[in-house]
Amino acid sequence: MGRNIFRRRKMRQESTEGESFSAELGTDLDKNLQDLQVMIGSPGDLVIRRVTLGVNVNAAVAFISGLSNKEAIHNDLIKNMQRNREKEAGSDTPDELLKQMQLDLISIGSVENTNSLDKLTIDLLSGKSVVYVDGAAEVLLLGTEKWETRSIDEPISESLIRGPREGFVENLQTNMMLIRRHIRDPNLRFDTNEVGRRSKKKLVVCYMEGIANPDIIKEVNHRLSSIDMDGAMESGYIEQWIEDSYLSPFPQMDNTERPDKVASSVLQGKVGILLDGSPFALIAPITIANAFKSPEDYYDRWLIGTFLRFIRYIGAFITMFLPALYIALVSYHQGMIPSQLAFSIAATREGVPFPAFVEAIIMGITMELLREAGARLPRTIGQTIGIVGGLVIGEAAVSAGIVSPIMVIVVALTAVASFTIPLYSVAISFRLLRFGFMIAAAVLGLYGIVLVYIMINIHIVNLKSMGVPYSTPFAPTFIKDWKDLVLRGPIPMMNERPRNLQPKDKRSGNLRR
Amino acid sequence: MKDFKYADEKISSREIMIALPAITVGVGILSLPREIALLTIGVDGWIAILIAGAVITIITWITAKLAASYPGESFLSYASKLVTKPVAILFTITLILQSLLLSAYVIRVIADIAKTYLFDRTPVEVVSLTFLLVVVYAVSGTRAGLFRLNMLFFPIIVLITFALAMFSLGWFEIENYFPIFKTGLMDHLKAAELSSLSFVGFNVLFFYIAIVKDTEKAPKASIYGMLIVVSLYFLIFLVNLGVFGNAVTGNLVYPLIELAKEIEIPGGFFERFDSFFFVIWIMSIFNTVAMSVDVSIYAFQSILNLKKITYLFCVAPIIYIIGMVPEGALEVGKFGTFIGYFGIISSSSIAIILFTISKIKGGRNQPNATK
């Protein structure tokens, strides 16, 4: 990254030839301020406030107005500098003065000093303020970052009936605070990295030392260190950069807005990744079973949790197979449909000019269109679209003889079923795979469906998430983990962490009777 | 399980235990009840299954024991120690051939059955080809992945078998079992011989035990694995005979699938359960073929180090062509019987020969082989 700034600086040097730009921090105040302005192009939000210290020593404070806490700068910095001229006069050299200010005068928590223009610029652009003193070789960087943020809100994409109402926000510090409030343990680690050539955003890897398997952490860090891109706008960039297979339809990391979910995953031995500016945290490694787990399973009593999981597995089955089964049964294996149902299907399909496959594709695409339109529009209009689409198009299509009523049932059921899957990214890939199943069913009937099913299984057993097989704990089998798979065992029974993550500390509690 | 050892290509003895039934249970059992019923009277065929099962289990144990006494060594390496390298290569090629022929036979049978029960107009060639392509896709992945696939599919197979047995209870008539113990000794032996053909597949142990982590547990695991097969066959035979009786079973080409056709699933979702049953059974057949092809690669690589993909592209067309050669059900049946005999005789004799020699040489070889 140093190289980039250097390059930019060189460009500047060329463009501002004759203005005598210097890349190093000098001792002359005017020259330093001029260099800074040249470096970042004297933007409108750069504030430079000159002050006189002690016995006529020139000094200046620079900060970016939108990114800094102006109150702190006014009250704790500039005011203190101006009101203590006698004290300041006691220092002989500018360097001594700087030291004195740092120790004695400035009442702001975080103070650093530096003599690097690069560091100064980046820190300034991330909200710190800079104190220059004429004649001093170094400058002070003060931690005055503050900007407008969204307040903590209920997570929109993952609403629960029962559970904390807090969701992550765009501010990294706040997000870390939200996790810390769930886990007050000295072993909770937040390792800070920086990503993006240009964006230079903070990225935090969050895990429990002594629980998470060190190899997983090593793997995550190794992959994070390989990231080289201009900017990461959202944690999705990070996810796509470090995932195991970009050809896979399945997400290999979980993303969530819920601090409680990150906290519980971290306690299981997983790793959370938080990116500044994104309310979505990543959780890795995950397995296919995670697609069917929701935090709510654990908040309700175990019987309810188990029931909900069953429903989701059925939902996934319907999402993927139902339209394909319909196509296969209607076009190849009519003999398998109970005779009375077969007659009624045949009767309703009487006027429909298309084969079942075309019918299913038309309705499937219509459904996806409606969903996408609903997601793009403002929420109130989105609902209208749902009603218009669901009722009007469905009803009209049937009476117009384009599709059969059974097909409408199939598509509606598929749509509803697909929304039961808690992981949005998995739900969408299931819906995508559904089209694959439909094509297979159109070509080879049930046989095609089972072949595609086998192929998906082949893919899953070969897929890994951070080195952990995607098909655990089904295979490689960890029977002990099955307590929290389709079944969600009673909380007192679940006193061991998932074996498939090979945690260092296996037990999470003891059952005492 | 102390370290993070997912990435390596090792398997556990439990995976061997599941791999055995996964590879053995396939197309053989679909027609086995008929073959036994033709030779025996009443329900007496169960004796044949048990005899064949016992013999095969013993041979399986011998194979596993042999391979396990050379932990981490490939078949070629330990066989070379016992019976010179050329003979070892000959053995390896025999086993490769056996696996390839078995795959060819299975992809042919699956197409024939699909023609009977799923669609009558789709050509056999297409059905076989698509199946083979999926197998190629599976084998081109990791070997550990294949074992995981066994673990995923096998429970489904067991479940559907039990479900079938449960639903059959309504059609079950105890009179169908009589008369009992009327079959002659020779017929029993002949039936046992025939049923042993459905146990082909344990030759994978020669090769796969080398990649088992806990080698010392492998022989026991293989016995359990084979016992699962025997009990599954036993159950299927008893249910089949109980529902159809000896005479009818003897006349059905695939009695197991016909069983699924006969019964009715409560709830009336499926008019005909047979297609559905066969479709599920395809997963088991798939495991058979995928494991056979993979073991042939593994064996071949020990002789000549060829890239997996290259080998696959060479061998897949051969399997396909061999599978398409037999014409008509009769020839396919003959082909199957031939492969059964070839497989059972070659792998049993290789196992017994090597085991005997290793026992004779044992005193000298054992210390450095098993520590």
- Tens of pLDDT, residues B244-294: 998 899 999 999 999 988 887 777 677 778 888 999 999 999 999 999 999
Burial class (CB in 10 A: 0-12, 13-18, 19+), A366: middle
- B153 inside 8 A of chain A by CB: yes
Query: Does residue A503 sit within a domain?
Result: no
A457 interaction partners in chain B (CB closer than 8 Å):
149, 152-153
Report the DSSP pairing between strands A188-195 and A139-142. Answer: unpaired
Partner residue facing A475 (CB), from B141, B148, B276: B148
To probe the interface with B, which of A446, A478, A506 has the most B CB atoms within 10 Å? A446
Residues of A in contact with B122 (CB under 8 A): 444
Chain B residues within an 8 Å CB radius of A502: 1, 3-4
Whether residue B366 lies inside any domain: the answer is no
**Residue B59 resides in a domain:** yes
Q: Do B148 and A332 touch (CB under 8 A)?
A: no
Torsion sign (Cα): A457, A458, A459, A462: positive
- In this complex, the residue of B127, B137, B270 whose CB is nearest that of residue A455 is B137
- Which pLDDT score, from 0 to 100, does residue A15 have? 47
Instruction: Give the per-residue SS3 of A114-178.
Output: ECCHHHHHHHHHCCCEEEEECCCCCEEEECCECCCCCCCCCCCCCCCCCCCCCCCCCCHHHHHHH
Residue A242 and residue A345 in one domain: no
For residue B8, what pLDDT band results from cuts at 50, 70 and 90? low
Q: Are A106 and A207 part of one and the same domain?
A: no
3-state SS class at B206: helix
Tell me if A495 is assigned to some domain.
no
Q: How far apart are CA B103 and CA B107, in angstroms?
A: 6
Sheet strand arrangement including A139-142: A46-53, A57-64, A129-133, A139-142, A111-114
Question: What integer pLDDT is reported at residue B367 of this predicted model?
Answer: 46
CB atoms A338 and B151 under 8 Å: no
Spatial CA neighbour of A269 closest among A186, A166, A187:
A187
Report the distance separating Cα A419 and Cα A312, nearest Å: 9
Domain that holds residue A434: 298-469
- Number of domains, chain A: 3
Cβ of A447 within 8 Å of Cβ of B151? The answer is no
In a domain, A338, yes or no: yes
**Whether A454 and B269 lie within 8 Å, measured CB to CB:** no
Question: Which residues of A fall within a CB distance of 8 Å from B119?
Answer: 332-333, 444-445, 447
Question: CB-CB: which of A213, A448, A467 is closest to B7?
Answer: A467
Looking at the predicted structure, is the pLDDT value of residue B366 above 60?
Answer: no
Integer-rounded Cα Rg, in Å, for chain B is 21
Statement to judge: residues A449 and A331 lie in one domain = yes
Residue for token pair 């398998």: A336
> Mean pLDDT, to the nearest integer, of B170-195?
87
Judged on CB neighbours under 10 Å (0-12, 13-18, 19+), A353 is: exposed
Tell me the three-class secondary structure of B56-110, residue by residue: HHHHHHHHHHHHHCCCCCCHHHHHHHHHCHHHHHHHHHHHHHHHHHHHHHHHHHH
Tokens of A355: 């084969």
Say yes or no: A264 and A309 in one domain.
no
Beta-carbon separation of A216 and B131 below 8 A: no
A448–chain B nearest CA distance, Å: 9
Q: Is A509 inside any structural domain?
A: no
Q: Which residue has the tokens 């089998």?
A: A477
How many angstroms separate the CA atoms of B107 and A445, rounded? Answer: 18
Residue B2: inside a domain, yes or no? no
Minimal CA separation from A254 to chain B, in Å? 20
Question: Do A455 and B3 count as a contact with CB atoms less than 8 A apart?
Answer: no
**Can you name the residues that pair with A272 across neighbouring β-strands?**
A206, A283
Q: A444 and B279 in contact by Cβ < 8 A?
A: no
A5-19, A377-391, B117-131, B346-360, range with the lowest pLDDT: A5-19
Q: How far apart are CA A140 and CA A120, in angstroms?
A: 9
Rounded distance between C-alpha atoms, residue B165 and residue B158, angstroms? 11
As a whole number of Å, the end-to-end CA separation of chain A is 58
CB contact under 8 A, A444 and B142: no
| Backbone torsions φ then ψ of A61, nearest 5 degrees | -120, 130
Residue A166 lies in a domain: no
Q: Which strands make up the sheet holding A188-195, listed edge to edge?
A: A188-195, A201-208, A271-275, A281-284, A254-256
Query: Is the domain of A15 the same as that of A134?
Result: yes
B325 found inside a domain: yes
DSSP assignment string, B268-334: SS-S-HHHHHHHHHHHHHHHHHHHHHHHHHHHHHHHS---HHHHHHHHHHHHHHHHH-S-HHHHHHH
User: In A, which residues are within 8 Å of B277 by CB distance?
Assistant: none
Position B316, amino acid: A
CB–CB of A475 and B149 under 8 A? yes
The fraction of chain B above a pLDDT of 90, given in percent, is: 61
pLDDT for A4: 52
Q: Are strands A129-133 and A57-64 parallel, antiparallel or unpaired?
A: antiparallel
Do residues A161 and A296 touch, judged by C-beta distance below 8 A? yes
Nearest residue, CB atoms, B152 vs list A339, A464, A471: A471
Q: Bigger pLDDT: B3 or B247?
A: B247
Task: Determine if the peptide bond prior to A259 is cis (ω within 30°).
Answer: no
Q: Which residues on A lie below 8 Å from B269 (Cβ)? A: 338
> Do A187 and A193 touch, CB atoms closer than 8 A?
no
Q: Which of B17, B18, B110, B148 to mutate to test the interface with A (most CBs of A within 10 A)?
A: B148
Contact B279 A446 (CB under 8 A): yes
Q: Where is the domain boundary, A255, A286, A317?
A: A286
Q: What's the total number of domains in chain B?
A: 1
Query: Using one digit for the tens of pLDDT, what is the confidence trace for B47-100?
Result: 999 999 999 999 999 999 999 988 888 899 999 989 999 999 999 999 999 999
In a domain, B358, yes or no: no
Spatial neighbors of A14 by CB under 8 A, at least 6 apart, are: none
Q: How many CA atoms lie within 13 A of A169 on its CB side?
A: 13
Q: Which residues of chain A are within 8 Å of residue B151 when distances are taken between CB atoms?
A: 474-477
Looking at residue A18, its pLDDT comes to 46
Q: Do residue A55 and residue A114 come from a single domain?
A: yes
Ranges in chain A, pLDDT < 50: 1-2, 11-18
The residue segments making up the domain with residue B242 are 13-350
Which one-letter amino acid corresponds to residue A215? D
Same-domain status, A262 and A315: no
Q: Which residues of A touch B125 (CB under 8 A)?
A: none
With beta carbons under 8 A apart, name residues in chain B contacting A445.
Answer: 118-119
In a domain, A510, yes or no: no
Cross-chain residue pair A476–B145, CB shorter than 8 Å? no
B122: domain CATH number is: 1.20.1740.10
Residue carrying structure tokens 């908040």? A299
Are both A272 and A320 inside the same structural domain? no
pLDDT at A116: 86
User: Which residues on chain A are in Cβ contact (under 8 Å) with B276?
Assistant: 336, 446
Complex prediction ipTM: 0.93
Boundary (domain end) residue, out of A286, A319, A345: A286
Domain shared by A304 and A270, yes or no: no
Report the candidate in A497, A507, A495, A492 with the shortest Cα–Cα distance to residue A301. A492
Residue B258, in any domain of the structure: yes
A467 CB neighbours in chain B (<8 A) are 4, 6-7
- B-chain CB neighbours of A448 within 8 Å are 130
For residue B365, pLDDT over 60 is answered with no
In single-letter form, the type of residue at position A261 comes to K
Nearest CA in chain A to B12: A476
Q: Are residues A10 and A67 in the same domain?
A: yes
Question: What integer pLDDT is reported at residue A7 of this predicted model?
Answer: 52
Reading phi first (left if > 0) and then psi (alpha if -120 to 50, else beta), residue B2 is in alpha
Tokens of B196: 């042993």
Looking at A219, A251, A286, the residue that finishes a domain is A286
Answer whether residue B1 is part of any domain. Answer: no
- Does A339 share its domain with A446? yes
User: What Rg, from alpha-carbon coordinates, does chain A have?
Assistant: 30
SS3 A188: strand
Residues in chain A within 8 Å Cβ distance of B212: none
B127 in contact with A, Cβ within 8 Å: yes
Residue of A454, A463, A505 to mutate when probing chain B, most B C-beta within 10 A: A454
CB A447 within 8 Å of CB A200? no
Co-location of A281 and A323 in the same domain: no
Q: Does any CB of chain A come closer than 8 Å to the CB of residue B50?
A: no
Whether residue A167 is contained in a domain is answered as: no
- Which chain B residues contact residue A464 at CB under 8 A? 6
Q: Count how many pairs of residues, chain A against chain B, have C-beta atoms within 8 Å.
A: 107
3-state secondary structure of A250: coil
Contacts of A458 in chain B (CB under 8 A): 134, 137-138, 141, 145, 149
Q: Which residues of A touch B (CB under 8 A)?
A: 213, 215-216, 332-333, 335-339, 342, 444-451, 454-455, 457-458, 461-462, 464, 467-469, 471, 474-477, 499, 502
Would you state the structure tokens that stand for residue B216, as one six-digit string? Answer: 């010392």
CA terminus-to-terminus distance, chain B: 22
Which residue's entry shows tokens 């926000």? A169
> To probe the interface with A, which of B112, B118, B293 has the most A CB atoms within 10 Å?
B118
For an interface test with A, the pick among B146, B271, B273, B278 (most A C-beta atoms closer than 10 Å) comes out as: B271
pLDDT the model gives residue B370: 42
Q: Which of A336, A462, A474 sits opposite B271 (nearest CB)?
A: A336
- Residue B301, chain A, CB below 8 Å: the answer is no
- Domain contains B3: no
